[in-house]
């Protein structure tokens, strides 16, 4: 069933809705402090928003002298859906209007199975969340896919790790199924958006967020807005060349960053080390499980396995080498590291930091924090909910 | 003598002034088509601008039915000064309010002589331009320096090739001497701004501009605005590492791009080739002049000198390698190559293009033009004039 959620009529109303989303309930007076509107004009806009049902009056506000007024808050029944499709797993979450997560599911999934199979699984997860009672419908949904997206159309484009997805009308298809507007973006852009909304990048205007999962990507934020680039491929740093005539990469080129690091490269290198007898610990894990992933290497490293530590350090140095170049170019206020491989923890972070602080000029790195993301597995779904709420809270 | 140039009272007036700057004289009706104002409100703002003297009525506009109205244009007496300080030369130009250049001087200069000596020379050049009759005073001046700038304060900061300039109050000092507001920026940001104002990047919102002079820098434009970065060092790509444990660089690190290419590296490599007997042509030029520069290598290359052609190709490949990474990260709509070394011409451009198109993914390079700047020696001064006019044409 399609919900007919109202949209704000003008930029003032849109700003008020976003203030309430990011700061929670406020009195009219507090809202007035934050927007450049006369008292009477503010009253008009708030009254119009009350009529749309997007906001409600809720409890008495603290007194500032004179008659006490009601707090204004977003309609508590608003629900946003966030979907974060990775290469090997999918996260689905439902948020309230303040983008707090009310329910969250994570399941393994193979993006290569194609959009039809993946969306069947996503819709089953959505149904499960609905059945749990956190939502009976959605006012908007945001969805992230692990590849470049033609943002205005909401379709993946030439996604290297997603055969079968090129040009698939993700927005149209999901919008029909879910009965609400759908926004589609690259998974890394959504991770950056999530960390900006509720994580480590909350007050930062210029930063980038490097996601090290199966592959490696980067979300770029300029002036508080995601920079998607001319064809939606900004941040596609996994195929930056780090070694001339280096290892063959799946993209067809040689020496790409992803050929050296990321979940896929790490698993391959660890299995090779296990088979070649360079690490009894990895050999034991491989025999036990039949394959290795980043978590196994983290386990082995914690147990003091030298080969695993070397793999993490070398990989960190490779990523650090690329980040150092991007820091020189972009001069960010913060670099966030996220994604599955961040389970490698402090060894990885130390290796990245060493490389960046050594290679970039002091002016760019003097006050540059390089930190792990705060939101972990819910960064993407939080960003997805924010994206769709940004859309809903814009003039129609 | 200080001119007391008026400033617009609000954002509407500022927008009108910029429209007139970039599009030339227009009728009130044409202005009304471009701004979101009611007819009566537009009339009020235009009348107020007429009162300030920033705009004047000038000639009858083309009829659109009804009574013919006067064209509105910027006051023709407005004058902007642009100063572009390079490592080894300085450009000074005077523009009219539409930023067309009325007079331009270029002189050799050594930035290492420090701000006092350099500004003596700049002020002498300004006096010469004044004496030629193109201006009797200035409404604003913009100045570019070859290093990072703390933009809000208008001071150079930790400039590697400019000893003696660190923290020098360029804005204050020049403002006093010139009797007008002064804006200070990095030279490469001004080149990018100039190409955006009147050159090859006119209609482009996201691009970067690589200046290959004595050193190598980059101006980054996002959504039509220069991206200066958190500490003003965005675009400082000359010290990106292109070779691990490579050549010693003047910055203290090893393997930086500038250690391999740019005017300084090229001159050193060419002189070495001449002395080692690898190029009779370069040896002849060196014997004749005592030293070599990029122009000599261009001359030798045109004469078919293989060593010179190799130097240009190798340098282009190094720059191309860095640009390829930045294209993957930033996904620009255009890459502009400028600076003195662009005299190396098509061989250089071909080498850069080959590297970028080979290394970056097709999605980012499919429609990516990589072109030489159009404005040559006046790109920086045009950008400087634009910067100061942007300031003047902002609400006070």
Residues 219-258 of B with CB under 8 A from A: 220, 222-223, 227-237, 239-241, 244, 251, 253
Q: Is the pLDDT of residue B65 over 90?
A: no
pLDDT digits (tens, 9 = 90+) for B274-305: 999 999 999 999 999 999 998 899 999 989 99
Both tokens of residue A101? 């997560």
Query: For strand B207-212 and strand B216-222, is the pairing parallel, antiparallel, or unpaired?
Result: antiparallel
Nearest to residue B72, comparing CAs of B12, B110, B27? B27
Helices and strands (H and E) in chain A: how many? 13, 15
Both tokens of residue B39? 């007819």
Asked if the C-beta of A317 comes within 8 angstroms of chain B's C-beta atoms, the answer is: no
Specify the residue for token string 């090893």. Answer: B254
Per CATH, domain B202-373 is 3.40.430.10? no
Q: Do residue A364 and residue B233 have CB atoms under 8 angstroms apart?
A: yes
Q: What is the pLDDT of residue B63?
A: 66
- What is the Rg, in whole angstroms, of the alpha carbon atoms belonging to chain A? 23
Q: Do residue B367 and residue A157 have CB atoms under 8 angstroms apart?
A: no
Residue in B234, B330, B366 closest to A234 by CB: B330
| Cβ-based neighbour number of residue A247 at 10 Å | 14
Residues of chain B with CATH 1.10.10.10: 11-74
First-to-last alpha carbon distance for chain A, in angstroms, is 21
Closest-CA distance of chain A to residue B185, Å: 16
* CATH top-level class of A11-74: mainly alpha
The answer to whether B31 and B46 have CB atoms below 8 angstroms apart is yes
Angle at B123 between CA B118 and CA B128, to 5 degrees: 130
**Confidence band for A65, pLDDT divided at 50, 70 and 90:** low
Nearest to residue B152, comparing CAs of B110, B183, B187, B190? B183
Q: What is the pLDDT of residue A64?
A: 66
Q: What is the arithmetic mean of pLDDT over B367-375?
A: 94
> With left for phi above 0 and alpha for psi between -120 and 50, is residue A348 left, alpha or beta?
alpha
Identify the bridge partners of residue B310 per DSSP, sorted by sequence position: none
Closest-CA distance of chain B to residue A249, Å: 12
**Confidence band for A62, pLDDT divided at 50, 70 and 90:** low
Q: What is the pLDDT of residue A68?
A: 66
**Where is average pLDDT lowest: A160-174, A221-235, A280-294, B40-54?**
A160-174
Q: Do residue B361 and residue A230 have CB atoms under 8 angstroms apart?
A: no
**Percent of chain B residues past pLDDT 90, beyond the cut:** 76
Nearest to residue B378, comparing CAs of B25, B80, B35? B80
Using CA atoms, how far apart are residues A14 and A55, in angstroms rounded to an integer? 12
Chain A residues whose beta carbon lies within 8 Å of the beta carbon of residue B227: 206, 222, 330
Q: Sheet containing B26-27: give its strands across.
A: B26-27, B70-74, B55-60
Using CA atoms, how far apart are residues A60 and A374, in angstroms rounded to an integer? 34
Query: For strand A89-95 and strand A101-108, is the pairing parallel, antiparallel, or unpaired?
Result: antiparallel
Q: Do residue B240 and residue A329 have CB atoms under 8 angstroms apart?
A: yes
**Confidence band for A124, pLDDT divided at 50, 70 and 90:** very high
ipTM of the complex: 0.93
Rounded to 5 degrees, what are φ and ψ at B187? -60, -35
**CA-CA-CA-CA torsion for B182, B187, B192, B193, nearest 10 degrees?**
10
Residues of chain B with CATH 3.30.420.40: 80-196+378-392, 202-373
Residue of B nearest to A159 (CA): B363
Closest-CA distance of chain A to residue B4, Å: 30
pLDDT digits (tens, 9 = 90+) for B180-236: 999 999 999 999 999 999 999 998 999 999 999 989 999 999 999 999 999 999 999
> DSSP letters along B83-110, please?
EEE-SSEEEEEEE-TT--EEEEEEEE--
Both tokens of residue B102? 């009325």
SS3 labels along B249-276 = CCCCCECEHHHHCCHHHHHHHHHHHHHC
A-B contacts (CB, under 8 Å): 146
Residue of A nearest to B254 (CA): A359
Closest-CA distance of chain B to residue A24, Å: 29
Q: Which fold has domain A80-196+378-392?
A: Nucleotidyltransferase; domain 5 (3.30.420)
Q: What is the pLDDT of residue B364?
A: 87
Identify the bridge partners of residue A106 per DSSP, sorted by sequence position: A91
Using CA atoms, how far apart are residues B383 and B142, in angstroms rounded to an integer? 8
Q: Is the pLDDT of residue B13 over 90?
A: yes
pLDDT digits (tens, 9 = 90+) for A266-289: 999 999 999 999 999 999 999 999
Q: Is the pLDDT of residue A131 over 70?
A: yes
Q: What is the pLDDT of residue A50?
A: 94
Asked if the C-beta of B158 comes within 8 angstroms of chain A's C-beta atoms, the answer is: yes
Chain A residues whose beta carbon lies within 8 Å of the beta carbon of residue B219: none
Distance of alpha carbon A224 from its chain centroid, rounded?
14
Q: Is the pLDDT of residue A367 over 80?
A: yes
Q: Is the pLDDT of residue B33 over 90?
A: no
Ranges of H-type helices in chain A: 11-23, 28-34, 39-52, 115-131, 170-178, 187-198, 263-275, 280-289, 294-302, 306-330, 346-359, 362-365, 379-392
pLDDT, greater one: A162 or A64: A162
Q: What is the pLDDT of residue B305?
A: 94
Q: Do residue B230 and residue A324 have CB atoms under 8 angstroms apart?
A: no
pLDDT, greater one: A89 or A341: A89
Q: Which residues contact B133 (CB under 8 A, 6 or more apart)?
A: none
8-state DSSP, A54:
S
Write out the H or E segment, with its range, that includes residue B219. Answer: strand B216-222
The answer to whether B55 and B72 have CB atoms below 8 angstroms apart is yes
Q: What is the pLDDT of residue B25?
A: 93
3-state DSSP helix/strand/coil percent for chain A, to nearest 5? 45, 20, 35
Residue in B148, B227, B361 closest to A239 by CB: B361
Mapping DSSP to helix (H, G, I), strand (E, B) and coil, where does residue A223 land? coil
Nearest to residue B229, comparing CAs of A366, A201, A332? A332
């Amino acid at each position: 069933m399609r919900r007919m959620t109202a949209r704000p009529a003008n930029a003032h109303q849109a700003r008020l809705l976003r203030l309430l989303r990011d700061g929670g309930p406020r009195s009219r007076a507090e809202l007035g402090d934050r927007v450049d509107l006369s008292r009477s004009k503010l009253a008009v806009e708030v009254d119009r928003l009350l009529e749309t049902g997007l906001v409600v009056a809720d409890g008495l506000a603290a007194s500032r002298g004179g008659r006490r007024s009601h707090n204004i808050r977003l309609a508590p029944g608003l629900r946003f859906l966030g979907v974060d499709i990775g290469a090997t797993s999918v996260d689905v979450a439902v948020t309230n209007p303040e983008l707090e997560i009310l329910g969250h599911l994570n399941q393994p999934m193979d993006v290569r199975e194609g959009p039809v199979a993946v969306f069947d699984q996503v819709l089953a997860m959505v149904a499960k969340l609905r059945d749990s009672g956190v939502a009976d419908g959605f006012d908007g949904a945001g969805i992230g896919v692990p590849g470049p997206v033609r943002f205005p159309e909401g379709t993946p484009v030439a996604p290297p790790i997603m055969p079968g997805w090129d040009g698939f009308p993700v927005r149209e298809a999901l919008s029909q199924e879910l009965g609400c507007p759908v926004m589609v973006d690259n998974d890394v852009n959504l991770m950056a958006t999530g960390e900006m909304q509720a994580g480590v990048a909350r007050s930062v205007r210029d930063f980038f967020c490097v996601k090290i999962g199966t592959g490696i990507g980067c979300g770029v934020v300029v002036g508080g807005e995601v920079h998607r680039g001319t064809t939606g491929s900004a941040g596609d740093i996994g195929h930056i060349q780090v070694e001339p005539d280096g290892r063959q990469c799946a993209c067809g080129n040689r020496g790409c960053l992803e050929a050296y690091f990321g979940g896929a490269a790490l698993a391959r290198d660890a299995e090779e080390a296990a088979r070649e007898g360079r690490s009894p610990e990895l050999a034991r894990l491989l025999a036990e499980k039949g394959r290795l992933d980043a978590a196994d290497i983290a386990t082995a490293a914690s147990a003091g396995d030298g080969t695993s530590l070397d793999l993490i350090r070398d990989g960190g140095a490779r990523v650090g080498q690329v980040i150092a170049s991007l820091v020189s170019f972009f001069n960010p206020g913060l670099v966030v590291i996220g994604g599955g491989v961040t389970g490698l923890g402090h060894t990885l972070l130390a290796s990245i930091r060493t490389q960046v602080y050594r290679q970039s000029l002091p002016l760019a790195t003097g006050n540059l924090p390089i930190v792990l993301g705060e939101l972990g597995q819910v960064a993407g779904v939080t960003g997805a909910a924010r994206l769709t709420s940004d859309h809903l809270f814009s003039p129609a």
